[in-house]
Structures are given as structure tokens and as C-alpha cells.
A and B are shown apart, each in its own frame.
Chain A
Amino acid sequence: MEENFKVIENYLMVKMPEEVDHHKSVYISKTADEYIMKEGVGNVVFDFEDTRFMDSSGIGIIIGRYKKISYFGGKVFAINTDTRIKRTLMICGLHKVIEIME
């Protein structure tokens, strides 16, 4: 699963799995935090290209990383979101704090 994390310049790219639930979220949060600390990246990009399912655990991942990154002025992005994922993010008002791109 390590190949789902990539550092490009000042950005940590996280390729989200097909199903984002509590079972998967613990690993994603933990690994993303390790990269943020180790590599000192400023921004985090979550790529939802392969994601077909996400529950509130996914929201938890994003909010958690946002809290860490924004403290140092970093930004969080969600890219390749389908209408479903976008709706889920917007129900929580996340579009006000992160950049959502289709």
C-alpha cells in the first residue's frame, strides 16, 4: 500500500483506495502523518480516482490531516471526486476549508 503515498515537491499525494471506511482509514491517517512529519510536506492531496465508496471515516481522515497541515499554513486538496464523493464532502461543509476538484 506504500505506493499509494508519493511526495512531489511540497505536496503529499495520497491515492485513496476503492473503499474508504473505518477499516482502511486508520492505516491511511497513520501513514499520511508519518510522511507529513518525515518529509515535512506543506500540502496534502487526496486522489479519489479509484474510490467508489466513502463513509464518514473518510471525512475523519481529511479533517485530521487538515488540522495538522493548516497549522503551518498548508492546504488540503481532494481531486478526481465523483458526484457522490463530492456530495459527501459537501454535506460536512468541507468545501469551505479544502479545495475540491472534479
Chain B
Amino acid sequence: METKNNTRLRNEMEITFDAVSVNEAFARVAVAAFVTPLNPTMEEISDIKTAVSEAVTNAIIHGYDSELWQGDCQEEKNQVYLRCVIEDDVLEVEVRDTGKGIEDIEQAMEPLFTTKPELDRSGMGFAFMEAFMDDLEVESRPGCGTVVLMKKKLGTTAWLLQEE
């Protein structure tokens, strides 16, 4: 039985960019712009930007062990793949790298755990992704790379605030 309410919204985009720190800002702004047709609140935009920033930063500094970008050319072509799908009011973000991968995902996801304390990393990356998105899945194979899949349902801020 077809009803008018069955019209589904679907939109997808994919970008690939060099694994350099200057692209962290580019990635989060691109995703924020992509979700605007859903009329997200400022709060939701901030949540999404933070989560994307965390995932992309992880890919760059942990996946590829990249140093800070000074405008120089990369020796190897390290790239980060970002894919976003909007299905109705749900945003799905996939951040993928082909870097060194994670040996122990459970440990990596523990708040405050970091393999790079010397870089002032707080170890809160995955915790933030979990806090700001509704769903988080991480798959990784050492030596092959990591995929981070995040989902967020938009338009829930209003009644969440009401609950509080």
C-alpha cells in the first residue's frame, strides 16, 4: 500500500583527500554543508563537525602517522576517504583510511587511552564520536586500514531538550 508519506529522501556524496592536517577543517565543513537540506540545528551541526573532525584527525595522525602539514608534498600518497549518506532524517558518515590499522579496537576506544601522549592527544577521540553521534562502529585490520562508521538521526534536539 503506497502512501504519500513514503517519499524517501536519499542523497550521497563521497570525497577523497590527502591525509594532511589542513584537510580536517575541510572535511567537517563539507559534511556540515552536505546536511543543510535537512535543516539541522546549530547543536546538531556542531555535533557532526566534532565527530567528523575526530575521525579524520585519527585517520591522519594515527592511521598514517602524519606529521604536521607545512605545505609540503607527501612522500607517499596517503588519502582519507569520506562518504556520507542521507536517508530520510538519518546521516551516515564513513571515514576510511588505508593506514596502519588498530591492533586492539576496544582499548583504542577507551576514554583517555592514546598511543601518542607526546603529541598532546587527549585520548578522547572515540569517546567524542560516541557522545556526539547516535551510533559508532569501528572496523580495522592491522596493516590494512580502518573504517569508522557513524550515524546520527537529525531533528531530535527539540524533544531531547524537553526531556531535560
Q: Interface of A with B (CB < 8 Å)? A: 19, 21-23, 25-26, 29, 53-57, 59-61, 63-64, 84, 88, 91-92
Contact B53 A59 (CB under 8 A): no
Contact A26 B68 (CB under 8 A): yes
In the complex, the chain B residue whose C-beta lies closest to that of A92 is B124
Contact A92 B122 (CB under 8 A): yes
Per the bound structure, the CA–CA distance linking A48 and B133 in Å amounts to: 24
Which residues of the other chain, A, contact B80 by a CB distance below 8 angstroms?
A: none
CB of B152 closer than 8 Å to a CB of A: no
Please report whether the interface of chain B is mostly helix, strand, loop or mixed according to DSSP.
helix
**The residue from B21, B46, B128 contacting A56, defined by CB atoms under 8 A apart:** B128
List 13 interface pairs A-B (beta carbons < 8 Å), by A numbering: A21-B24, A23-B69, A26-B120, A53-B28, A53-B50, A54-B50, A55-B54, A55-B57, A57-B120, A59-B124, A63-B122, A88-B50, A91-B124
Would A22 and B122 be within 8 Å (CB), given that A56-B54, A91-B127 are in contact? no
Per the bound structure, the CA–CA distance linking A29 and B119 in Å amounts to: 9
Per the bound structure, the CA–CA distance linking A18 and B144 in Å amounts to: 35
Q: Given contacts A53-B49, A88-B128, could you give 9 more A-B pairs where the C-beta distance is less than 8 Å?
A: A22-B60, A25-B120, A29-B120, A61-B120, A64-B120, A88-B50, A91-B127, A91-B131, A92-B124
Contact B122 A57 (CB under 8 A): yes
CB of B101 closer than 8 Å to a CB of A: no
Which residues of the other chain, B, contact A60 by a CB distance below 8 angstroms?
A: 119-122
Q: How many residues of chain B have a CB within 8 Å of chain A?
A: 27
Interface of chain B residues 14 through 52 with chain A (CB within 8 A): 21-22, 24-25, 28, 43, 46, 49-50
Contact A22 B57 (CB under 8 A): yes
CB of B136 closer than 8 Å to a CB of A: no
Which residues of the other chain, A, contact B125 by a CB distance below 8 angstroms?
A: 56
The 3 closest A-B pairs by CB, nearest first: A23-B21, A56-B124, A60-B122
Which residues of the other chain, B, contact A57 by a CB distance below 8 angstroms?
A: 57, 120-122
What is the minimal beta-carbon distance from B124 to any residue of chain A, in angstroms? 4
In the complex, the chain A residue whose C-beta lies closest to that of B43 is A84
